[in-house]
Amino acid sequence: MPKLITVFLIAILPHWSLFGKVEAGGETTLQNIGSRQKISLDGLWQAIIDPLENGLYNHSLQERTNGYFKNQKMESPRDLIEYDFDNSYQLNVPGDWNTQMEKLYLYEGTIWYKRSFKYRTGDKKKVLLYFEGVNYRCKVYLNGEYLGDHVGGFTPFQFDVSGKLKEDNFLILKVDNTRRRDGVPTVNFDWWNYGGITRSAWLVELPGTYIHDYSLRLKKGSKNIIEGMVALKGNTPPGQEVEVRIDELNQAVSLRSGKDGFAYFEIAADISYWSPGNPKLYQVAISTGEDSISDHVGFKTIETRGSQVYLNDAPVFLRGISIHEEAPFGAGRVTSKEQCRTLLRWAKELGCNYIRLAHYPHNEFMVREAERLGLLIWSEIPVYWTISYENPGTYENAESQLLAMIHRDKNRVGIGLWSVANETPMTADRLKFLKKLIRTARTTDDSRLITAALNSQRGGNGEIVIDDPLGEYIDVIGINTYCGWYGKRPAQCRDIVWKNTYDKPMIVSEMGAGALQGLHGGKDERWTEEYQAEVYRCNLDMIKKIDFLGGLSPWILMDFRSPRRNLGRIQNHFNRKGLVSENGIKKEAFYVLKDFYKELEDAGKQKKMEKENYPKTGG
């Protein structure tokens, strides 16, 4: 039986801002939705396409008091009601609208979603309406009452609907995926702007006092002390009892919450660290008198020392691949666990120990499954290209998405790097913007590395120098480089010499070339599998000579949709830089990279064996 330790820790631990409010201007969402008692709202929803937003505004652009959110019905033949959800289109949730109806393939604008459902009103429970992701801007109404809105397509949000539910209910969302200059991402990006309720929706039922949030991690600077927090909400007078158990470590602590509902603890234990070779997760059970949840949590350390990344005090080279949240075997946003498993299975087949989830937070299952498989994760927000860096509202949006990403995944040991940006222009406004984001990320979570993918290097005379001033503020420098595709011939890439102004690791966060799967020809013929493979061979030869290289995540695992890609018979609205086609067929370059990673892995094993045997040989 685990030993029970009673702990009365109610003082705020100041360096743990990770446990406070993290969404700009609001409260955090419920932690660990998968372990909750909930009712699914997934399935077919009624939908009305509304490009002129008639459902919200009249002809004078004044907001209606009886818009579509009222779900009105004709009561007599004289009534004039110019919409009817019950005789409208239907769309699957979760899902994007672009791939469900041909007429919506390129649609950007407003669609109204409506779902009717029954609820047993006799239960006096707290109920949250929880959305895992809606792209991009939405307004939410329950039984005609406005609940609130949310901006951002890849982070969860919720509303308290306790006392608002009836036996028969209707839920209506106004979803708008219109690209905006002040948005995050902005109007110009290189993936598909999938609109809709793209991730699952739930009614979550909670007791009067419930576990809202929790966190466990290795204490900073310690190898064997777990520090943790549990936050209660609801009817939470001080002194609420909480128990945290990790049976495998023979540990249990009994806590009492403070006035703010928070309780803190520390546990000393003999911990087996999580790593790609040993993706160890411990089952953690947290309970109160009314509520209980469980999770699987791991522990690791990650840091940089000079130009190397260290995981659990040992140098690690990150053999990775970049991944979009694009469904394999077809197209559209990922909506199922099996699709996530397919993408991660391909990454593992490549020999990866690391993945870059581009260019936004992926769904929670993807993150959990990746860490279970032993894949270290780079997770980022869509601060991409020409964001409005001078706009305070844009910054607030970006910070909110950053904090929501960190909050949702703070207990996911697989996360090793938080990324604040991709391919941003080197301007004063951009530097100020990103420095603020970096400070926020560090203040919120000092247990991971901070990175950004840059493409602003100086080049000439066969040299490339990394001197972007942003490099001073991040821990790991991501570099996107497309030698052999956007510049130079493939063979010229081999001789390039890289120099780094900063004594920090560099990850080649993107490299690669486009190829149409099944198109063959000479290795100097663009769009053929042979050309793509040659670009990989030449770039990998170049990479081998970079002595400050910490890893790479070439672009990209699978072909993905993008309206920027208009070359007929080749692209057809697909970015063709994938190593796997959208139909799951591997290209020649897949095996080039796989062989390279096998060579690196074998060399690493040999080096480890030599180090372990060195004292025994007397050498």
Rg of the Cα trace of the chain? Answer: 26
Mean pLDDT (whole number) for 244-273: 95
Does 284 score more than 50 pLDDT?
yes
Q: Which residues contact 275 (CB under 8 A, 6 or more apart)?
A: 300, 311, 312, 316, 374
Cα–Cα distance, 97 to 332 (Å, whole number) = 9
**Secondary structure of residue 444 in the 3-state scheme:** helix
Q: Which helix (H) or strand (E) holds 602?
A: helix 588-617
CATH superfamily entry for domain 3-21+209-302: Immunoglobulins (2.60.40.10)
**Is residue 617 over pLDDT 70?**
no
Summarize the confidence of residues 178-194 as an average pLDDT: 96
**Angle (nearest 5°) at CA 512 between 510 and 514:** 130
- Cβ atoms of residues 555 and 322 within 8 Å: yes
Share of the chain above pLDDT 90, in %: 87
Residue 330 Ramachandran class (φ > 0 left, ψ -120 to 50 alpha, else beta): left
| Amino acid 614: pLDDT | 57
CATH class of 43-93+95-198: mainly beta
Tens digits of per-residue pLDDT, 491-540? Answer: 999 999 999 999 999 999 999 999 999 999 999 999 999 999 999 999 99
Residue 484: its pLDDT value, please? Answer: 96
Rounded CA-CA distance 485/511 in Å is 9
| CA angle centred on 219, ends 214 and 224, rounded to 5° | 110
pLDDT at 45: 98
Length of the chain: 619
How far apart, in whole angstroms, are the C-alpha atoms of residue 112 and residue 57?
13
Place of tokens 């087949």: 349
Helix extents (H) in 410-513: 428-444, 490-493
Nearest to 202 by CA among 157, 166, 235, 236: 157
pTM of the shown model? 0.94
Give pLDDT, residue 14. Answer: 36
* pLDDT surpassing 60 at residue 8: no
Strands (DSSP E) found in 26-167: 37-40, 43-49, 89-93, 110-118, 126-131, 137-142, 145-151, 157-160
Mean pLDDT, rounded, of the chain: 93
More confident position, 12 or 475: 475
Strand pairing class (89-93; 37-40): unpaired
Residue 5 has pLDDT above 90, yes or no: no
**Which residues lie closer than 8 Å to 529 by C-beta, 6 or more apart?**
515, 516, 517, 518, 519, 520, 587, 588, 589
What band does 11 get if pLDDT is binned at 50, 70 and 90? very low
Backbone torsions φ then ψ of 160, nearest 5 degrees: -80, 115
> For residue 123, what pLDDT is reported?
72
The pLDDT of 103-120, averaged and rounded, is 97
pLDDT reported for residue 604: 76
pLDDT at 300 over 70: yes
Instruction: For Cα atoms 286, 287, 290, give the angle at the middle one, nearest 5 degrees.
Output: 150
237 has pLDDT over 90: no
The predicted structure's pLDDT at residue 236: 72
Alpha carbon of residue 437 to chain centroid: 16
Strand order in the sheet with 43-49: 89-93, 43-49, 110-118, 168-176, 137-142, 145-151
Environment class of 330 (CB within 10 Å of its CB; exposed 0-12, middle 13-18, buried 19+):
exposed
pLDDT at 385 over 60: yes
Can you give the pLDDT at residue 158? 98
Cα gap 586→579, rounded to integer Å: 6
Highest mean predicted confidence (pLDDT) among 234-238, 454-458, 512-516: 512-516
Name which of 424, 427, 429, 431 is nearest 385 in CA terms.
Answer: 424
DSSP code string of 520-532: ---TTSTBSHHHH
Q: Say what the pLDDT of residue 125 is.
A: 83
For the record, the structure tokens of 599 come out as: 């060579």
pLDDT band at 563 (very low <50, low <70, confident <90, very high): very high
Output the CA torsion 537→541→546→552 (10° steps): 20
Fold of 317-614: TIM Barrel (3.20.20)
Contacts of 440 (CB under 8 A, 6+ apart): 399, 402, 403
Are 157 and 29 contacting, i.e. CB atoms less than 8 angstroms apart?
A: yes
CA–CA distance, 594 with 600 (Å, rounded to integer) = 10
By DSSP bridging, strand 110-118 and strand 168-176 are: antiparallel
Instruction: Give residue 459's pLDDT band: very low, low, confident or very high (50, 70, 90).
Output: confident
Q: Which of 122-136, 280-294, 560-574 has the lowest mean pLDDT?
A: 122-136
- Average pLDDT over every residue of 339-365: 98
Query: Domain coordinates of the chain in residue numbers?
Result: 3-21+209-302, 43-93+95-198, 317-614
Q: Extract the tokens encoding 197.
A: 């309720």
**Residue 26, pLDDT score:** 55
Q: What is the pLDDT of residues 136-160, one digit of tens each?
A: 999 999 999 999 999 999 999 999 9
